[in-house]
Amino acid sequence: MEFITAKRLVMKVFITGASSDIGMAVCRQYLSEGCEILAHFRTLRSELELMAEQNPASVELLQMDFSDSANLESILTASRDKYLACDVLVNCAAILKPLRFAAVTVGNILEHFSVNVLPGLLLMRDMAPAMVNRGWGRIVHLGSIGVKFGGGTESFSYSLSKHALEFIPSEFKDWASMGVLVNVLRVGVTDTRLHISDQSKNISDRINLIPMRRMASVDEVAKTVSFFGSQSNSYITGQVIAISGGE
Average pLDDT over residues 205-234: 96
- Domain extents for the chain? 12-243
Q: Is the dihedral of CA 12, 116, 26, 212 positive or negative?
A: negative
DSSP 8-state class, residue 190: B
CATH 3.40.50.720 fits 12-243, yes or no: yes
CA neighbours closer than 13 Å in the CB half-sphere of residue 135:
7
pLDDT at 214: 94
Do the beta carbons of residue 101 and residue 150 sit within 8 Å? Answer: no
The pTM of this model reads 0.94
Residue 26 · residue 18 · CB < 8 Å? yes
Query: Looking at residue 202, what is its pLDDT?
Result: 78
Mean pLDDT of the chain: 94
**Enclosing H/E stretch for 225:** helix 218-228
pLDDT score, position 30:
98
The one-letter code for the residue type at 184 is V
Cα angle 73, 74, 80; round to 5: 85
State which amino acid sits at residue 221: V
- pLDDT tens for each residue of 42-81: 999 999 999 999 999 999 999 999 999 999 999 999 999 9
